[in-house]
Amino acid sequence: MPRYKAIVSYDGSGFFGFQVQNDVRTVQGELNKVVNQMAKNPATPIRVIGASRTDTGVHALGQVINFDLPFNIPAASVRKGLNTLLPRDIMIREVEIVNDDFHARFNSHHKRYFYRLSTQDFVDPFKRKYAGHFHWPLDIQRIEKALPDLLGEHDFASFAASGNQTQTTIRRITRADIINKPDEQEIVFIFEGNAFLYNQIRIMVGVLLEIGTGKRSVHDIQRLIEVKDRSQARFTAAAAGLYLDEISYS
């Protein structure tokens, strides 16, 4: 059975996250459905494996999945067939045939996320599902000074939501940037790392916004890493602004 790797984009506003759940619409559920349809609904259902379990309302430009088909189909034909069957809020960007030992989630990889934040005084109806919103004045220089404190390998227990189920809260962040777009009334945060905890990026954004408003000291991230106490991080940014941008493999 050939194994296929695919890069998937989706608008997360219509899904209860990536992972299959009972009685709700998920990205993995829709992908399972069309992959099995393409395989002519085999007796043993095919399960699509995803690299990242994005949450309700979170979007993706570069989610990676893998699945096996019971017969050999050219990668270009698989891409065309899946895109024909999928709903319009999911698109297969690329498909390739890979080795049988490739695993989207467990193979060593590196992830890049970005977070879009609207700074308009009121919520823009055309951005409400695709950006977070924060209308209080921000000191961008304070945020820029704080960002390097996230870099490196740390125990990010203070930045993990209560639903986190990983064995360790130690993660390595290799990039933490901010792009200010005053003409568009938007700010974009960019984070890269080997992996991220449940809600970690949204909690980090929340902390950075409080630093930008002066509610926290510039280097309060260092203290939060030391105390390992989620309650002290407080604010979690809205899911609508988070995008899984790219996953690269060793």
Active-site residue set: 55
Please tell me what DSSP assigns to residue 44.
S
Find out whether 198 and 156 touch, Cβ atoms under 8 Å.
no
CB atoms within 10 A of CB 158: 23
Q: Which two tokens stand for residue 179?
A: 């792009």
Please tell me what DSSP assigns to residue 172.
E
- At 23, phi and psi to the nearest 5? 65, 15
Instruction: Spell out the residues 6+ positions from residue 56 whose beta carbon is closer than 8 angstroms to its own.
Output: 12, 15, 16, 17, 239
